[in-house]
Chain A
């Protein structure tokens, strides 16, 4: 175990009474509660944390927040393994395990580091121009190795044992970021009575205040947080990232509920996805410090200056003992002073030739060495930075020149200016623009309902931040129709202003010396994008910002270019020799940070991926050992196996029993629609292809609906119960679609029709009893119904009772046998099923599932989902003669269009296997021996027919029944199968219909 040799004696935010043990690459280390993984690693002197994405270069901790481009680790193991988590954003907990990424066999000895030697062969877009030969397929070979060598961790290969959930939240004011401006805005909005959500990515409130010292700051923060926590209308959400801004003031947030523990507490989700609907949003997301770009600027030990201040003041970690700070603005001096005070040997290299006198005085008094008008040209070192080469810099000519001074160091801090964090604004399509004064991208027009505060609004010093917090809250609560309370930041205690002007001197890259070239100058550390890559992209014509991004990958991946975006744009603009605003800026897209897929899925996994529908008989099916299949959202019995049976043998037995005796099947999933009103007959005439005017009460009729474009939409039966009351059934798959279609027509197309439709799918449990003994069985259990042919003919509908339960009975048949459908109020479904099953023992009643149902309907030539697939016309499915010529109906005009009446359209036929092999649904049908092109049709449904003792199919063939008796070929390329089939009538079994009319 390594001691925390870089830990200082005091700091505000870690709990020294709670030591924590953790493991990095298997090595046992210690930290404290309140640390991040990054701060604890630095405390232990761990500099090398990962290897880079492309060149496998050594990388260390670069920042202290979400902008981290380097220190990505894989957290935990097994099902809880999570790749690409920035160490700077991992809250330390006891037992935490993290491993470094993108190295083999180890972080310190990475054989893949050899790739760096071949970097000249791997420039931007290399995969478009190298590794392409010697043959056309060479890339396929290389790709495997290139993908293995590159990458950002690996996806977990085991099921995640933790749960995730989704929540909807609502508020008047969403405040993103709980730094000084966000806290002040929350106080002001909360005092006005607004419902406020204050979301903070960190596990502590305070933002940049946490990185500063001074009793006045901790006092102000403490007072403010106490007041926030006391207000019931303010919801404080720590560990919560607002990652996306969407339409209608909807924001996506992820709360890392139990992420700070190895295992979530019982019943708690690990993470929670929150969809927030707010009236207004205050973006108080602060600023991100920009790095400077020079040779070897990616060495471990090179770090943003603001990060060093955070590690020092918040976590009590000295980032280095011999520190050089390289900057182009005044913010570096606060860091330098803090580090010097903590005992570090500090030198500052400032691009600018002069700095304000008060700063110079303070710095010199602190023993800090100043190097003004100079730049760091190159960092030197292997595992971490050991020295830097410093030269004079001519600001006017932008030239670095003169003798090189090598300065020793163990840490190099960078401050290249500050960029406001405007991702959420940009996600709504509002691009920032470049402001010369601040040398950064600032917000231009912002979306309605959005307000900026703090650093996001370019407020840098504290008093300005607090004022923007108050002002943004005033505007937001006013927009919500509330009266702003009189607010002033001193209500929470006096906060002394640091009063610093940044005075940034833009420097996008340290220029190469006149007689040479610097080592690799990285712009985007996460994607290993260098200055040379951007220049190359420009030379090759990828000269717009959007093309540059895609060609070089600049700004992609988990860090989303948080530190690299502006430097990259500016270097591209330099290539163009145009101002940055003329070259343009890219749009940030959600998510702002990486989000586990698990949290987006929430509880929608397994059978809850979509809600599951179960029939009223479901429990009985389970007791009867049904094997279920999913049809849409429904769980339906597929087959009911006897011991030793598989699906094929069970379903064949079930189908034979129906043909020979009697079977019982659950058809509750059929769509059922109650249609009532004086104009129903007219309505049905308009939606169905056939005529409904003559249908008498007590009778039903088969009908087909077309879409507006003349394609078959759905089929089913509709029965007339009374003069104005009809009962429609649809297919299981078509139920929702038909219901919406009918509602649309009644509300939009024909509001004058007095018709109401109501889905009653769930009201009625439904079963079909089919087979020669179905009448005898039902006669035994149903009272008040005369089952003889005259009283209850085919397509008749009657009402009866089973026990005292009122039931609807329809004599219809999908199987081709004498059959009845029985509709029972759902709550009595189970009892009635039991009753019929008991009565059926005398008839050797067989339960059958959807597989047998399919066998029976294919034998009979009835169309179903595979034939009504959204491509077929009425004529295609052999029902063209059903269409009435005496009326208009939905689809009646467009079904006559040229393409739908073409004589060579494939139409429904039956197909018999000639060589006795199993046929395949989806097989392409071709003329014998002519296996090119698209063939002459396809097979839609297949089965082995127990009645015919052969493999049969339904399909569509050009020419249809004109090819009756012809042999054609069925080809199934996926299995490389070819079989010979004979075209026949689709009505394989009892074509006269004698069995269902008995």
Chain B
């Protein structure tokens, strides 16, 4: 372990990460390679020149936590460095992943994604499973615009994962990019538009049933809607009851709706 001026460590094991190394500490280096402070020479370096520390142990000490997106950056950058031979199995294991070809492929695909998306994936804590759709593409380029839009709209993790998967599947099914991009910059309407194309029959059925339910003579202060819960659908009813008399009155009114339900039986209760 030798204390040096940072400028003397001129080889960079650079990878994009979203963390900052405390300025009061000397910069960790491994055999002349910097593990942090890639843009500046203004610090002292501790170079672990000999075999007293492995590259992996130094990495873990410098970066005790890496998000999946940062791990993708690390893998992409370090795999291209011919001078080092990281033990990927232990690196992945340290950061909570089981090494496999499947995982490496996901990581390689994410590494090719637009920078803004990688930051979004880091910020939202996306994991390998959330990005499985990428593996259906040889290259992620066809998805670039979708990924940029996801990060630009700052959608939530669950919405973004859904959008990415549905948009990816629609592109693979032959839809054009224009068809899968949002008409306006609103996440809700983008999701609805994608859903209507990815699940056309059920989307149309649910919408038309919702319209039918709206036409029924529901008592006042009652909210009724056609609702999908997984593979099941039905009417969700919310009643606000103010007194026993009010309850009786609403029940009576609901009896009239029963007639509507019978009349629309085929429309409502069959797929």
Do the two shown chains form a genuine complex with each other? no
Residues of B within 8 A of A (CB): none
Residues of A within 8 A of B (CB): none
